[in-house]
Structure 1
Amino acid sequence: MRERRANDEFRLLDNRRRAKSQKIARQNNEFKNQENEKRAEALKISRQNDEFKAHENKRRAEVLKIERQNDEFRTEENKRRAEAHKIERQDDEFKREENKRRAEALKTARQDNEFKEEEKRKNALRMYNSRDKYKNNFDAMKSNYESNIKEGPTHICSCCGGLWFAYSIREYTIEMLANKGLKTEFINTVCYLKHAIIKLCATCRKDIMSNKIPNIALSNGLAFYEIPDCLKILTELEERLISPRIPFMVIRTLGFSKQFGLKGNLVNVPMNVDTNVSILPRSFSDTYTIQLKLMRQMKNKNAFMYETIRPKVVHTAVKYLVQQELYKDEGIVISNDWMKEYPNEKENFIVKNEDKKINETENTGEDSDHDDNWNESDDKPINPVVTETLLNDETEDQTDTGIKFAPGENNRPISVLMDLKVDELTFPKIYCGKQRKIKENVKLTYAKIAKSELRMFDRRCGRVSKLFFTYKKLQTRKFVDAISINLRKTKNTKNVTVNQMLNRDYVNGLVHNDDAFTFLRFDRSSPAFWELKKKELMAMNRQLECATIFLTLSAAETQWSELLVILTKVLENKVITLEEAQNLSYEKTCELIRQDSVTCVRYFEHKLKCLWEILSAPCGPFQGYELVDKYVRTEFQVRGSPHVHALLWLKNAPKYDKNNPESIERCVEFIDKLISVSSQLTEFSEELISLQRHKHSHTCKQHVNGCIICRFGIPYFPISKTIPSQCFPQRDPAVTSRKLW
């Protein structure tokens, strides 16, 4: 047979015959499987020979290289390999080993400086191309903006318990953190909230990865106690009756469709809880209620707080509180005998004369406008109205009915900085009559504690009284620190003595040199602060020349369905759709907004951040005019919601010259490109027109030469094209008033 196969023609015919018979035989699955096993065993034995193995691998590589020159074959093979690799990586052990192998290989390769630099260059180029592609695609940016504004601070950090946006949170498991070298005991300590998925914010993540416990971790003593049922149902005045401290604050409504503001200072007055409880009747049922007036002084006409309270609820709450350690340390007990009169041993509680009359003038309408023909505001306001705002400590329509008492009249006020337990003693409903037990080795400022409380997933500190109390205490602390620093750093106050401070000429010298007001720079409402901001803005004008565009942005919380979805999830732990949010009643919408003003402000800041990203993009509204710089001022006007004024500097923007017709023409073209007016109705016409409609109110009313005009000069005369305002003649107030009003 060997001799016959030496003939090429015979060998070819014999091979064809064998292949044909083999093909027929392999149609039998049993024979096929046996043959495959036999071939595999033979190949396995043969590949034990290194020379044979190397030769076969080389042959396979050559064959595969030739086959991969076919694009269709290469695509199919890559797809098959990817599927096979995906299935293999479902095995955790294989995945872990492969990741380890890749990391080791990359670590070895990075020891070569040339490879390391090339990798950095490729990563930077890939990131640049990705960002450039994104910034030049307006549809993608718009879609991303619409997606981002649906996100809110709804993600809870497992360490600090704060509410964060999605971009600030990263998710881990205990195994993932353990693989980073963290011990299980340490992980259980820092992760106060126990969940299968551990969420960490950027602040906590940085410390935890360094094997440190973050200062604001709940495990450091910042966690709230669970509120008992007897304290949950307390009203504002009922809480004041059982609190050893009264925070006298003038919280005033600011007018129609506005929120609340704080007037004057915070006065922290201690009082006797037993005295307060003794004011209540001796016998009462579970449903018994009385009208109670909390007075600053008995001689004042109006009450500080006026409310219908439930004596049974007050007594149940105070019995619980006197058993707590904090109240025991303060020596607070409830006697069985009712006190019939107040002690007169201490000095009278001193208040300013303007505080006595503050409630008398609140509703006199001095600032309101009685001209019905002028005030045209008749629609529902965008922001919550007076009865829908955060808290109302004012008293309206007071009568002589009810019990009057002034528990702090004969007590001397205590500084909120000297009273170390003032928060816990002032708000027993929040702290449950217990003191925060912060670990001794943890360094926390009051500002960090306040941030932790306001960001907490437990929204109990969102009350307006607590917000204003925290603000005034923090402001007082900053004033004290600023004064201390100012006395050490100011050149004219190096060695200040008491005698110098009592010298009027020395103090006048400090005022003349502005050294007396330097410490006020951090306070937004002070002249020193605005002097600093004015210098910053003037410096920008000198370097960048005059700003190109003035932009105003206002919050419209009641019309933001995304915000209502977020508030419902944060406050009620309930998920609703955008359609359901749009169908909420106006009263329910305002209730959600007033319950959590902190989340509303954080969402406004987030939405503004997303908007700046679009305005700064090359494909944004200022296409062709790059946004060089901006100056942003955020303020809270009388209506209470955030309001932004911004000056924008655009590159290659035309300069206005009233004496140059070409300059005026270029400016008109520039304005028409950014600001458009059309008489053609679209699906958005009514919505956009409603946002641009001006309604006369007392805020725009101006008296000029005995005539009433709008200080904005509205209505504007219709024109067919854009004309600079300097081209218009000055209006005659008399003609304007006769024509408009």
Structure 2
Amino acid sequence: MALPLQQRTRHVHLHKYALHLIKYYDQKFGQHVRFRYYIYNLMMRHRSQQSVAMCIKTNLEDSLPHNLHGLKEYLQNKPSNELPNHIMRYAASLRGTRAFWSKSRRDLTTMIEQLGAPTLFFTLSSTDTKWPDLHKLLPKKMSTTVHNNRRQFIENLVNNPHITALYLHLRFQIFHDEVIVKQLKAIDHWYRYEWQHRGSAHIHGFLWLPEAPNIDNLDWSDHASIQSIKHLFDQYITTWNPPTKEARLNKQYMPAISDPCLADTEIISRSDPSIDYTKLLNVVQRHTKCSEYTCLKKKNSTLECRYKVP
């Protein structure tokens, strides 16, 4: 005998229920290869039924009916292609759709019209295969060897994309609160997440900083205007590398570990920030492959990087 259905004492939204299943303790939903696509498709269908609106654009010339009875009569008596041309779907709330990105583009365009050109454009990339704090949160334990660790790092990311995406989101929220708001004191911002074909996420965005000159109205023939722009960006952008040229050639700047991105947060918090920046700069900000087609140029019969990047 089937039990009668009981009404919930508290309404549960579908997206909250889906998030609960994704975070379930045994990871059978989060790690399932197809479930994440199934629940996403179900949420999109559910949201489309609630949010997608049908709008009929009418004007006096077309004389289209404004009520349901009139529309039925119009379709029965005058079958033509006029009515579909006046119907538009508004799906701006459905993430990933053309309407959603069109709305995002219009929002950005409106911000530029109101605030002027953005001061800074930024890109934040995630070193998800190296962050030790991230991999501490992933279910699978790491091996004792570096080679096996590397393979397990990648396997963990593939099997737990929900944890990786949420970790990046929370990390960016901290960066937003501590750097963009407190340090840069940005008056407004716009950003979007993007995922590469191999799955790694990154963030593109614009910042509007206070007291920044309006680039749109800049007089490039005026020396004072150019100096004001230089003074502004000199506060935020530097090209300083502490080690000397001899030290870089002898690789004396190299850190004790192979990659500073693998350093644990507790170790970084107790170390000298200037040393950490030096290690990070000279290991990450490097050209691993140089060629004459990209950056190598002849200078005094020797090939050198025209960007002066080690």
Please classify the TM superposition score into its range, dividing by the shorter chain length.
0.5 to 0.7
Question: What letter matches 1:644 in structure 2?
Answer: I
Summarize the alignment of residues 239-638 of structure 1 with structure 2, pairs less than 5 Å apart.
Answer: 439-442=6-9, 443-462=11-30, 463-483=32-52, 486-487=53-54, 492=58, 495=68, 496-497=71-72, 500=75, 503-510=80-87, 515=88, 517-518=89-90, 520-567=91-138, 571-572=139-140, 585-616=149-180, 618=182, 620=183, 622=184, 626-638=185-197
Residue 589 of structure 1, CA deviation = 1.0
Tell me if structure 1 keeps the 8 A contact 2:193–2:201: yes
Name the CA distance, whole Å, in 2 between partners of 1:531 and 1:523: 11
Residue 459 of structure 1 aligns to a residue whose secondary structure is coil
CA shift in 2, pair 1:473/1:549, >3 Å: same
Is the contact made by 1:632 and 1:644 (CA closer than 8 Å) also made in structure 2? yes
2:224 to 659, 662, 672: 662
**What is the CA-CA distance between 1:494 and the residue it aligns to?**
5.1
- Contact 1:631–1:648 (8 Å) recurs in 2: yes
Task: Provide closer, same or farther for how the CA distance between residues 507 and 553 of structure 1 changes in structure 2, counting only shifts above 3 A.
Answer: same
**Deviations along 1:602-640, whole A, 9 cap, x unmatched?**
11111111111221455x3x3xxx311111212223232
Q: Which amino acid aligns with 1:450?
A: A
Question: How many angstroms apart in 2 are the aligned matches of 1:662 and 1:627?
Answer: 24
Q: Contact 1:628–1:650 (CA<8 Å) still a contact in 2?
A: yes
1:676 corresponding residue in structure 2:
238
TM-score by length of 2: 0.68
- Does 2:209 correspond to 1:647? no
**Paired residue type of 2:83:** Y
Q: 1:500 to 1:687 in 2, by over 3 A?
A: farther
CA contact (8 A) 1:552 1:645 kept: yes
Change in CA separation of 1:651 and 1:522 when aligned onto 2, cut-off 3 Å: same
Show structure 2 runs of 5+ residues with no match.
Answer: 59-65, 244-252, 254-274, 298-304
Partner of 1:598, secondary structure, is: helix
Deviation at 1:563, TM superposition (A): 0.4
What is the distance in 1 between the residues matched to 2:29 and 2:205?
32
> SS state of the match for residue 96, structure 2?
coil
The Cα of 1:694 is off from its aligned counterpart by 6.2
Whole-angstrom distance in 2 between the partners of 1:648 and 1:581: 42
Distance 1:680 1:654 in 2: 31
- Given that 2:56 and 2:86 are in contact with CA atoms closer than 8 Å, whether structure 1 keeps it comes out as no
Matches within 5 A, 1:145-224: none
Cα 1:719–1:666 change in 2 (3 A) is: farther
Letter in 2 for 1:606: L
SS in 2 for 1:458: coil
Q: Given that residues 188 and 209 in structure 2 are in contact (C-alpha distance below 8 angstroms), is that contact kept between their aligned partners in structure 1?
A: yes
Identity percentage over the alignment?
A: 20
Asked if the contact 2:116/2:214 (under 8 Å) is kept, the reply is no
Deviation at 1:646, TM superposition (A): 1.1
CA distance in 1, matches of 2:98, 2:35: 27
Q: CA deviation at 1:669?
A: 2.6
Change (3 A) 1:562 1:616: same
Name the aligned partner's letter for residue 470 of structure 1: I
Q: What SS does the aligned partner of 2:211 have?
A: coil
| Change beyond 3 A, Cα 1:652–1:587 | same
Between the aligned partners of 1:580 and 1:615, the Cα distance in structure 2 is 36
Question: What letter matches 1:557 in structure 2?
Answer: D
Q: Name the TM-score, length of structure 1 as normaliser.
A: 0.30
What SS does structure 1 have at the residue aligned with 2:165? Answer: helix
Question: What is the one-letter code of the residue matched to 2:106?
Answer: K
Task: Say if 1:630 and 1:648, in contact at 8 Å, map to a contact too.
Answer: yes
The alpha-carbon deviation at position 674 of structure 1 amounts to 1.2
Tell me, yes or no, if structure 1 residue 687 matches structure 2 residue 280: yes
Unaligned runs of 5+ in 1: 1-324, 330-436, 697-708, 721-741
The amino acid that maps onto 1:654 is P
- Separation of aligned partners in 2, 1:644 and 1:498: 51
Q: Distance in 2 between matches of 1:639 and 1:561?
A: 20
Q: In 1, are the aligned partners of 2:123 and 2:202 still within 8 Å (CA)? A: yes
In our comparison, the structure showing a higher alpha carbon Rg is 1
The letter for the 1-side match of 2:130 is: Q
1:300 aligns to what?
Answer: none
Q: How far apart in 2 are the matches of 1:498 and 1:466?
A: 45
Q: Which amino acid aligns with 2:164?
A: C
**In 2, Cα distance between the equivalents of 1:530 and 1:629?**
20
Cα distance between partner residues in 1 of 2:132 and 2:163: 14
Cα gap change, 1:635/1:654 in structure 2, threshold over 3 Å: closer, same or farther? Answer: same
What amino acid does structure 2 have at the position aligned with 1:461? F
Contact persistence 1:633–1:646 (CA under 8 A): yes
Instruction: Tell me, yes or no, if the aligned pair for 2:121 and 2:207 is still in contact at 8 Å.
Output: yes
Q: What does residue 408 of structure 1 align with?
A: none
SS of 1:550 mapped into structure 2: strand
Q: Displacement, 1:543?
A: 2.3
Number of paired residues?
251
Give, as a single letter, the amino acid of the residue that structure 2 aligns with 1:446: L
Kept in 2: contact 1:453–1:461 (CA 8 A) = yes
Shift, 1:690, TM fit? 4.5
The answer (yes or no) to whether the contact 1:561–1:582 under 8 Å persists in 2 is no
Structure 1 residues 581 and 650: CA distance shift in structure 2, 3 A: farther
Partner Cα distance (2:98, 2:82) in 1 = 22
Give the Cα–Cα distance (whole angstroms) in 2 for the partners of residues 544 and 553 of structure 1.
Answer: 23
